[in-house]
Amino acid sequence: MQLRTLGANGPQVSAQGLGCMGMSISYGEPNDAESIATIHRALDLGVNLIVTSDAYGAGVNEQLVGRALQGRRDRAMVATKFGNLGLAGGNPAGLSGGHPDYVPQACEKSLKCLGVDVIDIYGLHRVDPAVPIEDTVGAMKKLVEQGKVRYLALSEAGPQTIRRAHKVHPIAAVETEYSLWSRDVEADVLPTCRELGIAFMAYAPLGRGFLTATMKSLDALLPKDRRREHPRFNADNIKRNAELLAPLEKIAAEKKCTPAQVALAWVHAQGADIFPIPGTKRRAFLEQNIAAFDLKLDAEAVNALSNAFAAGVTAGTRYPEKQMKALGI
């Protein structure tokens, strides 16, 4: 896998990363042994960008990543995040997620869970509306000065917040949802990142699995799968959205590859400053997703897909209503 500089002055990371969230929460049954084998295979195939958060099972996913990295730490660029307290299970000290006093506490916990001395890329998972971004990033900057983290990132931040944060300390990457069916960032977040020399880490590039064309009805999801709470996956919307998949499946058939690979190739075609981080807990899917990096789509195919998934065609919002309020702040 090709290595690229993350943002103007960031570290060398693989052009595609590995998202580890689904190894511990949200999607189906965890399988730690296969998940660890998947992280090892990713490193062996040159994928060094390993992405987690303290919110994924309140440290459980970071611990899993930490176990996988034992003896392999120097081969990985670990990206973790803090401040998504709703998902992380709250904060006992009563501080909000972006409070400057909370930032070092969260960092210490992540260092411990991961079993590392330094976090390569440390991100604010959700912007805290109660705290000026300058204060949160100011506290993150101190962690860089103390050698506890190397580079900074933001997740789901709005363009003005990105600009203000970048003035306090260079932001290496913004991590936000981006895929054929989630293209809101094209309006302002992506142009802002490009103007400032900030890389874009595209999370859920497979549409949380939908763009693999294997989830065309609710029956494809286990009863406790968190996607059932997401409006795009509700019984009516998933059926409507499945009607969008025909062009993706057609191009996959022509190219003799899978819809998942075409969906990833479309994200790569949007620019070398975009680093998709597909998630999987299985080596077989990982290998397929890595192979997608070499699948080059011609302009005609890219345009056909962009037109088929034009902004606004997807039925349902990206998150349940309450969580939507935390996006783009």
Ligand X SMILES: NC(=O)c1ccc[n+]([C@@H]2O[C@H](COP(=O)([O-])OP(=O)(O)OC[C@H]3O[C@@H](n4cnc5c(N)ncnc54)[C@H](OP(=O)(O)O)[C@@H]3O)[C@@H](O)[C@H]2O)c1
Q: Which residues contact ligand X (rule: CB under 6 A)? A: 19-22, 27-28, 51, 125, 155-156, 175, 203-209, 212, 214, 260, 277-282, 285, 288-289
Question: Rounded to the nearest whole angstrom, what is the least distance from the CB of residue 124 to ligand X in the complex?
Answer: 10
Q: b/e map of 33-42 (b: 16 or more CB within 10 Å)?
A: eebbbbbbbb
Which residues are known to be catalytic? 56
**Alpha-carbon separation of residue 86 from 97, 240, 326 (angstroms):** 9, 30, 10
Question: Rounded to the nearest whole angstrom, what is the least distance from the CB of residue 20 to ligand X in the complex?
Answer: 5
Question: Rounded to the nearest whole angstrom, what is the least distance from the CB of residue 317 to ligand X in the complex?
Answer: 14
Structural element, H or E, at residue 113: helix 102-114
Tokens (6 digits) for 21: 């969230």
Question: Rounded to the nearest whole angstrom, what is the least distance from the CB of residue 311 to ligand X in the complex?
Answer: 18
CB closer to ligand X out of 34 and 188: 34
Give the count of beta carbons closer than 10 Å to the beta carbon of residue 4: 18
User: What SS3 class is residue 246?
Assistant: helix
Structural element, H or E, at residue 269: helix 259-269
CB closer to ligand X out of 193 and 204: 204
CB closer to ligand X out of 146 and 222: 222
Residue among 177, 302, 316, 298 nearest 240 (CA)? 316
CB closer to ligand X out of 161 and 288: 288
Angle of helix 283-291 versus helix 32-44 axis, rounded to 10: 30
